[in-house]
A and B are shown apart, each in its own frame.
Chain A
Amino acid sequence: DQQVKQNSPSLSVQEGRISILNCDYTNSMFDYFLWYKKYPAEGPTFLISISSIKDKNEDGRFTVFLNKSAKHLSLHIVPSQPGDSAVYFCAARETGNQFYFGTGTSLTVIP
């Protein structure tokens, strides 16, 4: 049972534009969320997190939005750069339990 879903396997965006990656979850008890970026042959790299007491968190070009009522979070990358091309994973957990990961979205930023 996939508790965290990333329904878009891939996304292409022009350099300089905004990239929006989406993630849906089913467990309303999830209270901490992460985004990771993964390049081929490397482990995932932590990008940004958000706890359920917030609805937005920013770090430079990366902003994560959390909509608890819709059980939806999104990652915005502005402006997108070619080096952002990678697979992006969202993850969620309920305090005390394991992280559940989505299947990933492959982002391609076109120069």
Chain B
Amino acid sequence: KAGVTQTPRYLIKTRGQQVTLSCSPISGHRSVSWYQQTPGQGLQFLFEYFSETQRNKGNFPGRFSGRQFSNSRSEMNVSTLELGDSALYLCASSLASGGPVEQFFGPGTRLTVL
């Protein structure tokens, strides 16, 4: 079974631009979560989608948004990029939402904002 895939793997943008990242979960997985990883900060939760509905949301500004499609693929969008948005963005999928199920991560998208 294929793992979680994320595209693109690397991205360079300039301040003020917007970016869209894509995540394809493991087949059969209906929950997709997004995380931001920066040095020394661990993984910061952005949001979780299950069956096209946002289930949970972290403490990020409204510039960060996401959505999930009927095939469970998910996208996250960051508008008006700031230098501090430079990070590794990780997507994780799981069979269900909210219960004792593990999340499986993709390789991440490395975003650099210049």
Contacts and interface: CB of A to CB of B under 8 A. Distances in A.
A104 B42 contact: yes
A98 B45 contact: yes
Contacts of A100: 45
Nearest to A31: B100
B66 interface: no
Interface residues of B, number: 24
Contacts of A89: 42-43
Nearest to B105: A43
Interface residues on A, range: 20 to 34
A31 B101 CA distance: 11
Nearest to A44: B105
Interface in B20-77: 33, 35, 40-45, 48, 56, 58
A43 B44 CA distance: 14
A43 B90 contact: yes
Interface in B84-111: 90, 92, 98-100, 102-108
A45 B92 CA distance: 10
A101 B42 CA distance: 6
Nearest to A97: B56
Given A98-B48, A98-B56, A49 B100 contact: yes
